[in-house]
Chain A
Amino acid sequence: MSVQGVDGQDLGLLLVAAQDGDRASYAAFLRAVLPLIRAVGRGKLARPADLEDFVQDTLLAIHQSLPTFQPGRPVGPWLGTIARNRLSDALRRTYRRRAVETEFDDGLADTVAQPEADTPPSIALGPLLSQLPERQRLAIDMLKLRGMSLKEASDASGVSIGALKVAVHRGIAGLRHLLRKDNDHG
């Protein structure tokens, strides 16, 4: 087994050093096995987010299994068993989620003829947006006004994709509420 110039024997040495508490070796070991772990999950987990969850889950499992590695034994089967175990759990979670969720295809709307859009009434959103909580305003600004993708917005803000979706949803509900209130007051 060879990963980015690190062969199985080197991985074994790094892992034994990690067991002895050597932090640099542990970090090097975890980084060296990342491509191996990804290779186990790739092709089975379609969504990149699921693959990344699986990789992180496997890293945590390796952390827990650290005392079980016997020096001198091959690292490949040890790592492979842990990764396959975490993969089967990840697949189980994915199937369970698929049973209750429908994937939204962003491209679907582009394939359907859209009615002529009415010219939207011009509304000054600025004052309304400023009344929203910081997190919701930021999410609407990045995703709806600046047109960033969820991934880009998540990378830029450091907020997870799930949290961004929730913030946008709540922000739009808040704006709707504010608009209604605005109309009621003339």
Chain B
Amino acid sequence: MADTSHLIDRLSSEAVPARRLPPPVLRLLRWAVASLALMALATTWHGIRSDLGAVAGDPAWLAEQVLALVTALLAGFAAISFSVPGRRGWERLVWLPMAAFWLLVMWESARPTMETQAIPEMAHLFCPYCFPVISIGSALFLGADMRRAAPVAPVRMMALLLIAGGGMAMFGERLIHDDLDAPLLIAIQIVAVVTVGALLAPLGRVLFRWRRPKVNLQQKAME
């Protein structure tokens, strides 16, 4: 008890004005802008797809892009919500129906021509340059923002961070490449991104940890 009282005295004596984190929606917008800037950077290096003007008028292509972007944004929002204690439950799950809907749409679009399509090889599943640059860069932006918050659910934060980055990269690489539009390919990409997110989720325990600030229990016990 004496130790706890002492700890409270120490913590309160070291209190300085805290840099309040902006609301999750604002943090999400900041992340989206940073990710879009990264995509713009990738397009300056790789160039925009030559038929962008034509496909932009195709409602099916537009819908697929909107689904990709909205899923990535909702996964990012869920990741940010997990890093703020006490947020509502629906904010953390809202990405799931959207991802399932996106996968369903892609699957249904691919079904009629399924028999004529070959399963793409792993090497042709993603652009080996654009996808890593956009997904890792965008995940790093989000991770840096989330590390300033509270690591109350590190594993789920990591999974959603990777899914958000992957979704953003899927959206971005379709602005750059014209050979990644096949619905079956997109469906496989969605499953791959979610699977990688789930597999690497335990790394969240390393990336998002409770820090021991200036006061720690051992130091306190020695006094």
Contacts and interface: CB of A to CB of B under 8 A. Distances in A.
Interface of A: 18-24, 26-27, 30-31, 34, 52-53, 55-57, 59-61, 63-71, 73-74, 76-82, 85-86, 155, 158, 160, 162-163
B9 A27 contact: yes
B213 A77 contact: no
Contacts, number: 110
B178 interface: no
B11 A63 contact: yes
B86 A74 contact: yes
A155 B2 CA distance: 8
Interface in B2-17: 2-4, 7-9, 11-13, 15-17
Contacts of A63: 11, 213, 215
B86 A77 contact: yes
A55 B11 CA distance: 14
A64 B210 contact: yes
Contact of B15 (A22, A53, A64, A86): A22
Given A21-B16, A56-B3, A64-B210, A85 B8 contact: no
A68 B4 contact: no
B83 interface: yes
Contact of B11 (A26, A76, A86): A26
A73 B21 CA distance: 14
A19 B4 contact: no
Chief secondary structure at chain A's binding surface: helix
A59 B7 contact: yes
B216 to A, nearest CB: 8
A85 B9 contact: no
Contacts of A73: 86
Contact of B152 (A85, A158, A160): A85
Nearest to B88: A77
Given A52-B3, A160-B221, A30 B20 contact: no
B18 interface: yes
B124 interface: no
Contacts of B11: 26, 30, 59-60, 63
B84 interface: yes
A67 B149 CA distance: 7
B1 interface: yes
A81 B152 contact: yes
